[in-house]
Amino acid sequence: MKLRPLEEKIGQMLIVGFHGTTAPQHILERLKMGKIGGVILFARNIETPTQVEALTRSLHEAAKYPILIAIDQEGGTVARLRTGYTESPGAMALGAADDPELSERVSRALAVELRALGINWNLAPAIDLTHNIHNPSVGTRSIGTDPDHVSRHAVAQVKGFQSAGVAATAKHFPGKANTPVDPHVELPVIEGRLDDMWMTDLVPFRAACEAGVAAILITHVQFKDIEPTYPSTMSKRIIEDLLRDKMGYRGLVTTDCMEMKAVTLKYGPGESAVLAAMAGANTLLFSHTREYQEEVYDALLYAARSGDYQSSRSITVSNESKN
């Protein structure tokens, strides 16, 4: 079997977004060269089902290798597909109904629709426990407060999505609902002990791992008891030591969007990408900015070729990545 060149291996790590309801030419060109591993869609990319199917088909057809096309279709408050698509209850409503079979059926129905549209990766379910009612980024996206209750529904949703051929994603590891700060705005910091988290926040993630969830999304929260320096997305202690070694997870590990201010207020795009890759992330989400996406590709490629991880973290966009 012919091995892929390094340039393409680096490209397959990148999941990128763009504005508009048709794919920009630079995205199609980079897909053709194998320099993008997937695309994430937002409401800005969505109109009618016919338009979405045409968009995803153009992405799949342009790609040198099979690609992931991702979306956040949790149901409830976070759903990129709205008018003209299947509406579903949010996580808290499903948790209140407390019927895991219903949770599985709802997830399967969403996945059938996603698959018909050419979308093969759902960034759901959100399985954070509710700790802080003032948390601005979880709220009704949480199934509830009890770890076992959340676990039952998390497993049901994972089964529902994946039984219909769509990869599910347990998020936001290792749990981000115990803070009043939104990582879109600044870096949340949690002081809780790992021993306590093992019996609380990590219970649903352990259940999702055992259920064979395809992917786990890492949040930008910093957990001081585990990681004194970095957000979880850039922490080897979180990804390799906790998730891989202690919990035994062997599936895909992806970052949350690396353009959130929890990251960008302190780190440049190339720096954050190299740190996340060194920490063990398999795919990196840069959801908005073309210049960041190209800078990240250059930084990762330079680091892999040279072994000079420090210099690669501050590399600027090169002409190579623009071609």
What would the pLDDT profile of 276-306 be if each residue is shown by its tens digit?
999 999 999 999 999 999 999 999 999 999 8
What would the two tokens of residue 159 be? 């089964």
Confidence of residue 142 (pLDDT cuts 50, 70, 90): confident
172 is catalytic: no
Confidence (pLDDT) at 289: 97
Question: Active site residue: 146, 184, 241, 288, which one?
Answer: 184
> DSSP label at 117?
T
Average pLDDT (14-26) is 98
Q: Are 21 and 45 in contact (CB under 8 A)?
A: yes
Query: Given pLDDT bands bounded at 50, 70 and 90, which one contains residue 322?
Result: very low
Q: What is the pLDDT of residues 161-184, one digit of tens each?
A: 999 999 999 999 999 867 778 888
The closest of 33, 43, 34, 40 to 15, measured between CA atoms, is 40
| 8 Å CB contact between 312 and 268 | no
The span from the first CA to the last CA of the chain, in angstroms, equals 28
- Amino acid at residue number 59: L
Amino acid letter for position 321: S
Q: What is the pLDDT of residue 139?
A: 75
pLDDT tens profile 48-72: 999 999 999 999 999 999 999 999 9
DSSP class of 62: H
249 — pLDDT class (breaks 50, 70, 90) = very high
The whole-model pTM stands at 0.93
- Alpha carbon distance 154, 94 (integer Å): 11
**298 part of the active site:** no
Q: Which of 89-93, 216-220, 234-238 bottoms out in mean pLDDT, i.e. has the lowest?
A: 89-93
**Looking at the chain, how many residues does it have?**
323
Tokens 């990240």 correspond to what residue? Answer: 296
Note whether 170 and 125 are within 8 A (CB): yes
Closest to 108 (Cα-Cα) out of 160, 182, 46, 36 = 160
Q: Is the pLDDT of residue 260 over 80?
A: yes
How does the average pLDDT of the chain come out, rounded? Answer: 92
Residue with token string 């780190």: 267
Cβ neighbours of 314 (radius 10 Å): 13
Quick one: pLDDT band at residue 323, thresholds 50, 70, 90? very low
Q: If pLDDT is split at 50, 70 and 90, which confidence band does 141 have?
A: confident
Q: How many CA atoms does the CB half-sphere of 126 hold within 13 Å?
A: 28
Look at the domain 21-264 and name its fold. Answer: TIM Barrel (3.20.20)
Residue among 72, 128, 201, 256 flagged as catalytic:
256
pLDDT of residue 311 exceeding 70, the answer is no
